[in-house]
Amino acid sequence: MGAEFPLSVPSRHGPVFSTFPAPEKWLIQAGIPAWGRARLSPKAGTAYALNSQRISQLGLFAKPATKWSPASIRKMQTLLTLTIIVEPDRQRLARFAMDAVEALGGNVFSAANRLEGLLRRVREDCARARTPVEASLLLDDLSLCLAWENQREPLTTLSQPPAASKVTALATQLKNASESADSTLLKRRNEQIIIHLEDAKKRARQEMEELETLLEMKKNELNKSILAAQTDGLTGLYNRSGYDTRLREAFLRCKRQGEPLCLMLLDLDFFKAINDTHGHQYGDEYLKRMANALRASVREHVDHPCRMGGDEFTIILYSDIPIAKRVAGKVLGLMENKVSIGVTQMQETDSIESLVGRADSMLYEAKHRGRGQFVADEVSEVRIKAV
């Protein structure tokens, strides 16, 4: 089989008429790449008339569609990435794509034919997804491609590799052009950024509120736990640990601010005999009765009645000695004079230990005098009179 010659000289964009098999140089002059030329392999003697329309129909300038992934993109060189939102974005993409084809020396005629159909598919994908679509111009060896979502389509095949500096300059040019081409789109993107920032601030505020709420809950849980650890299970009064904490707080506060503070120590008279005679259940109720008498005699949330253990109680009283004596008398009345009470007021030179020691001495004196009474510190009374 001898090679048959073309009926007319081929031109790059004009009609090309050929009878095949023809010399490959005529197909090269027609701008048909190697994989396109490979498709033209008819049997000997078969004639084809090729022009621009027929070439476009055969898809000789473009490879079939191929799938791509982000991993494969990283192996290529990205010339441009553009977010497609509205029709003007697609028009800008077309202009940038044709600029790239021309700058790299690709076949503008075949690229234009390819691009029209590809942009239509991009438009359909945008409408179907109802979200912006990222489109990219990629240079894969000698192939300039348009990629979006999971698709990659070649626009043109270069005859030789472009210089690296030329590719870099083209990418910079396209980037700058895409960022400054449309002030309206820039404004829209800025508005979108502001919306995202406001959303981020809103989420941060919500997270902060949730953290503050959680922190407050944890604080409340801790306070409840501390209170439970400092509360006597039987009477509901502060226990010894609670007493130690409240006495220290009261002592330091009144010292600092020059306020009066009285300490009362109380013992139930003959409680062991009552417990032995009537039983432990009766004894527990008797202790509860004493706790209620203390509560009824002081100011709620101001003064602190406490159970030290067994039949021993105390009151931390934010008042002077005359008021403390009235409180002691009220407790005696509610408990039918079956309580011994020692009362003292904090002095300027007192420590916590000296204050407690003096109150304990007054309690011992009340018991020594026959129980069922209170004894107040005479030093405190003299100081009050002197003032």
Is the pLDDT assigned to residue 283 strictly greater than 80? yes
Comparison of pLDDT for 343 and 190, the residue scoring more: 343
- 327 — pLDDT class (breaks 50, 70, 90): very high
Same domain as 248, residue 139: no
Best mean pLDDT range from 68-72, 91-95, 268-272: 268-272
Q: In this structure, how many other beta carbons lie within 10 angstroms of the beta carbon of residue 79?
A: 25
Question: Would residue 234 count as lying in a domain?
Answer: no
Question: Would residue 154 count as lying in a domain?
Answer: yes
Residue 108's pLDDT is what?
87
Same domain as 191, residue 133: no
Question: Would residue 6 count as lying in a domain?
Answer: no
Residue 25's domain spans which residues? 16-58
Is the pLDDT assigned to residue 140 strictly greater than 90? no
Same domain as 101, residue 47: no
Same domain as 317, residue 271: yes
Q: Could you tell me if 328 and 343 are in contact, meaning their C-beta atoms sit under 8 angstroms apart? A: yes
Q: How far apart are CA 373 and CA 83, in angstroms?
A: 92
Is the pLDDT assigned to residue 348 strictly greater than 50? yes
Return the amino acid letter for 235: T
What CATH number has the domain bearing residue 378? 3.30.70.270
Comparison of pLDDT for 325 and 229, the residue scoring more: 325
**Interacting residues of 343 by C-beta distance below 8 A, sequence separation 6+:** 262, 263, 264, 321, 324, 325, 328, 359, 362, 374, 375, 376, 377, 380
Q: How far apart are CA 125 and CA 301, in angstroms?
A: 71
Question: Would residue 49 count as lying in a domain?
Answer: yes
Same domain as 269, residue 154: no
Closest by CA to 84, choosing from 139, 154, 137, is 137
Into how many domains does the chain fold?
A: 4
Same domain as 321, residue 210: no
Same domain as 382, residue 244: yes
Same domain as 252, residue 369: yes
Is the pLDDT assigned to residue 22 strictly greater than 60? no
Residue 369's pLDDT is what?
94
- 3 state SS for the chain: CCCCCCCCCCCCCCCEEEECCCCHHHHHHCCCCHHHHHHCCCCCCCEEEECHHHHHHHCCCCCCCEECCHHHHCCCEEEEEEEECCHHHHHHHHHHHHHHHHHCCCCHHHHHHHHHHHHHHHHHHHHHHCCCEEEEEEEECCEEEEEECCEEEEEEECCCCCCHHHHHHHHHHHHHHHHHCCHHHHHHHHHHHHHHHHHHHHHHHHHHHHHHHHHHHHHHHHHHHHHHHCECCCCCCECHHHHHHHHHHHHHHHHHHCCCCEEEEEEECCHHHHHHHHCHHHHHHHHHHHHHHHHHHCCCCCCEEEEEECCEEEEEECCCHHHHHHHHHHHHHHCCCCEEEEEEECCCCCCHHHHHHHHHHHHHHHHHCCCCCEEECHHHHHHHHHC
Same domain as 358, residue 328: yes
Closest by CA to 21, choosing from 38, 4, 39, is 4
Same domain as 157, residue 275: no
Question: Would residue 2 count as lying in a domain?
Answer: no
Same domain as 204, residue 334: no
Torsion angle in degrees (nearest 10) through CA of 268, 274, 279, 283: -20
Tokens 């600092």 sit at which residue?
Answer: 256
Question: Would residue 5 count as lying in a domain?
Answer: no
Same domain as 362, residue 305: yes
What are the pLDDT digits (tens) for 172-205? 888 888 776 556 666 766 776 687 788 888 989 9
- 36 — pLDDT class (breaks 50, 70, 90): low
Residue 255's pLDDT is what?
94
Question: Would residue 306 count as lying in a domain?
Answer: yes
pTM: 0.49
Question: Would residue 3 count as lying in a domain?
Answer: no
